[in-house]
């Protein structure tokens, strides 16, 4: 067995640490998701899995259905494709139908005002249980009394169908409780009109939402309520840091005074204010008296509006002392089948990808495929045509001048200028061969001097003086600085004047 060297020990230690880290990360519990989804399949703290599971027991019915369609489509029996493809009633039709429906509804409310008042009194929880047992028995009492008041719902529902105006929406749905528990509640004009007409027949709509944003038109005007921002109460806590106080919700009915719930201050940001003259009742308030849960009568039905949907989530329903609030709130609904809306949270059933609209149309689908094919083709062709980057090679520097200066300094340090003069004479002879085609010049020859004077354009005297200095440099064993400078100047002047 080979011995473990220091490197192998280090390598083994790193491998063990890596394996331990992977094991720790794999077995580490996942962080808790506190996102307020309100989806009936989510088991996170702010999901509604527990409420949806216990809904048959709380409502006293086994008929609980999840709705993944718009309100108008659910109430009229129209499919999702027909709902999305149809333009629906025009603005003029909506106005005409709204005025007619409003008039019919007003007459209906006036005719049944005494009955609505009696129903409001009956539907409140009444029971002879003691105050100590209010948490467990008050909700059951509310459900029982409500079921007795709604014993003739079917007959009233059939009568409401015959009283509708011709411009009303042809609803096909039977009596039911329509439940909405969302982060925000938003309806289109068509959905709001269908829901109003459906509730006016004697049905109930239970809406628990943190924000009521888009109902500034038909729904708010019809129900006569306003939404106002709730100013949070802040206190100075540890190290002077301000924090938002919690909100305590309580019911207004005397039998439900023990049913209270305390929520984080940021979970309730709005409260409701019902216009005067509207038939309704405040069912729950906060500690400052702001209404957070109200019932508004509309026609033969009721709208239950709550601005604290967090109270219906898993986190509070799994605690005995906080679960009573949701039980008491839902006990106001009569015993009948229930529709649980998931369309506003999850959308329609089916493909939920971001490209579902593209794949729903042939033209967009083929355009998408064509873009993918074109991009892939471009990548392949561009990769083949693109060459490797050629590195930039810098040219070698010209060091001739540096070499010349170095050699000149060496000659100068030797104090022997005869060698420099000899180099200059050799360069001068090369100049004569290339410039004047004098291959074997004879400085003592008179014909050569005359010929050079004519070719260069200089006087004979200048040529004789130059050749004298050249002969001296060729024969002198030593040259002074002055003599070398004189020779260099004479050669430079001759080349300059002969080159004109």
Residue range 449-461, pLDDT digits in tens: 898 899 888 899 9
What is the rounded average pLDDT of the residues 56-67? 93
What is the rounded average pLDDT of the residues 364-380? 92
What is the rounded average pLDDT of the residues 234-251? 73
User: What contacts 24+ positions apart, CB below 8 Å, involve 345-350?
Assistant: 345/37, 345/38, 345/39, 345/182, 346/39, 346/68, 347/68, 348/68, 348/69, 348/80, 349/68
Using an 8 Å Cβ cutoff, are 458 and 494 in contact?
yes
Q: Is 292 helix (H, G, I), strand (E, B) or coil?
A: strand
Alpha-carbon gap, residue 253 to 84, rounded angstroms: 44
What angle, 0 to 180 degrees and rounded to 10, lies between the N-to-C axes of helices 320-330 and 49-59?
50
Give the tokens for residue 352. Answer: 């939920």
**pLDDT tens readout for residues 268-287:** 888 999 988 888 899 999 98
Using an 8 Å Cβ cutoff, are 317 and 327 in contact?
no
Is it the case that residue 493 has pLDDT exceeding 60? yes
Task: Give the predicted TM-score (pTM) of the model.
Answer: 0.59
Residue 227: closest CA among 278, 274, 286, 265: 274
**What pLDDT sits at residue 55?**
95
- Which stretch of 24-33, 139-148, 337-346 has the lowest confidence by average pLDDT? 139-148
Give the tokens for residue 248. Answer: 């305590």
**pLDDT tens readout for residues 121-173:** 333 443 323 333 334 434 444 434 444 344 445 555 555 554 555 457 888 87
- Which stretch of 232-236, 238-242, 424-428 has the lowest confidence by average pLDDT? 238-242
pLDDT classification of 90: cutoffs 50, 70, 90: very low
- Which stretch of 148-152, 297-301, 431-435, 473-477 has the lowest confidence by average pLDDT? 148-152
DSSP symbol at 166: T
Q: Is 28 helix (H, G, I), strand (E, B) or coil?
A: coil
Give the tokens for residue 10. Answer: 């280090």
Residue 121: closest CA among 276, 307, 297: 297
**What pLDDT sits at residue 391?**
82
**What pLDDT sits at residue 482?**
87
Percent of the chain surpassing pLDDT 70: 77
Averaged pLDDT of the chain: 80
Alpha-carbon gap, residue 286 to 304, rounded angstroms: 17
Sequential DSSP letters for 388-456:
PPPPPPPPPP--HHHHHHHHHHHHHHHT-THHHHHHHHHHHHHHHHHHH--SS--TT-HHHHHHHHHHH
**What pLDDT sits at residue 355?**
81
* Alpha helices (runs of H) in 253-399, residue ranges in sequence order: 314-317, 320-330, 343-346, 356-359, 362-385
Beta bridge mates, 298 = 301
Q: Which residue has the higher pLDDT, 362 or 135?
A: 362
What is the phi/psi pair of residue 298, to 5°? -140, 110
Using an 8 Å Cβ cutoff, are 478 and 468 in contact?
no
Alpha-carbon gap, residue 186 to 206, rounded angstroms: 14
Using an 8 Å Cβ cutoff, are 80 and 88 in contact?
no
The distance from CA 63 to its chain's CA centroid, rounded to whole angstroms, is 39
**What pLDDT sits at residue 44?**
93
Using an 8 Å Cβ cutoff, are 296 and 280 in contact?
yes
What is the rounded average pLDDT of the residues 487-500? 86
Cα 376 to Cα 358, 369, 372: the distances in Å are 20, 11, 6
């Amino acid at each position: 067995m080979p011995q473990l060297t220091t490197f192998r020990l280090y390598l083994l230690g790193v491998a063990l640490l890596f394996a331990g880290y992977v094991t720790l990360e794999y077995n580490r519990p996942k962080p808790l998701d506190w996102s307020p989804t309100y989806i009936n399949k989510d088991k996170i703290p702010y999901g509604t899995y527990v409420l949806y599971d216990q809904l048959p027991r709380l409502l006293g019915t086994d008929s609980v259905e999840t709705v993944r369609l718009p309100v108008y489509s659910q109430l009229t029996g129209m499919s999702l494709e027909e709902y999305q493809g149809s333009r629906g009633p025009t603005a003029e039709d909506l106005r005409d139908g709204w005025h007619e429906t409003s008039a019919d509804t007003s007459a209906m409310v006036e005719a049944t005002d005494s009955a609505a008042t009696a129903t409001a009194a009956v539907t409140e929880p009444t029971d002879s249980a003691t105050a100590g047992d209010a948490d467990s028995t008050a909700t059951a009492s509310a459900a029982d009394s409500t079921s007795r008041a709604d014993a003739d719902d079917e007959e009233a529902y059939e009568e409401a169908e015959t009283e509708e105006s011709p411009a009303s929406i042809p609803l096909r749905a039977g009596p039911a409780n329509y439940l909405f528990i969302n982060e925000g509640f938003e309806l289109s004009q068509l959905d709001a009109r269908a829901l109003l007409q459906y509730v006016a027949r004697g049905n109930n709509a239970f809406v628990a939402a943190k924000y009521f944003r888009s109902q500034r038109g038909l729904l708010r005007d019809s129900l006569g309520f306003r939404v106002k921002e709730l100013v949070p109460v802040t206190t100075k806590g540890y190290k002077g840091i301000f924090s938002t106080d919690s909100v305590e919700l309580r019911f207004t009915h005397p039998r439900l005074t023990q049913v209270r719930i305390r929520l984080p201050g940021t979970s309730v940001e709005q409260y409701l204010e019902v216009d005067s003259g509207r038939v309704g009742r405040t069912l729950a308030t906060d500690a400052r008296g702001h209404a957070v849960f109200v019932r508004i009568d509309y026609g033969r039905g009721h709208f239950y509006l709550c601005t604290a949907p967090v109270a219906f989530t898993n986190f509070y329903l799994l605690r005995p002392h906080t679960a009573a609030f949701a039980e008491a709130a839902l006990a106001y609904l009569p015993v009948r089948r229930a529709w649980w809306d998931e369309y506003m949270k999850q959308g329609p059933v089916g493909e939920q990808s971001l490209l579902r609209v593209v794949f729903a149309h042939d033209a967009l689908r083929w355009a998408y495929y064509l873009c993918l094919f074109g991009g892939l083709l471009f990548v392949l062709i561009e990769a083949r045509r693109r060459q490797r980057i050629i590195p930039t090679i810098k040219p070698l520097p010209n060091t001739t001048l540096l070499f010349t200066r170095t050699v000149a300094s060496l000659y100068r340090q030797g104090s022997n200028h005869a060698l420099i003069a000899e180099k200059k004479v050799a360069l001068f002879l090369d100049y004569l061969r290339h410039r004047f085609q004098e291959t074997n010049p004879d400085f003592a020859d008179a014909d050569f001097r005359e010929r050079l004077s004519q070719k260069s354009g200089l006087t004979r005297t200048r040529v004789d003086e130059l050749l004298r200095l050249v002969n001296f440099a060729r024969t002198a064993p030593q040259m002074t600085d002055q003599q070398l400078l004189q020779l260099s100047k004479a050669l430079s002047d001759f080349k300059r004047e002969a080159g004109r």
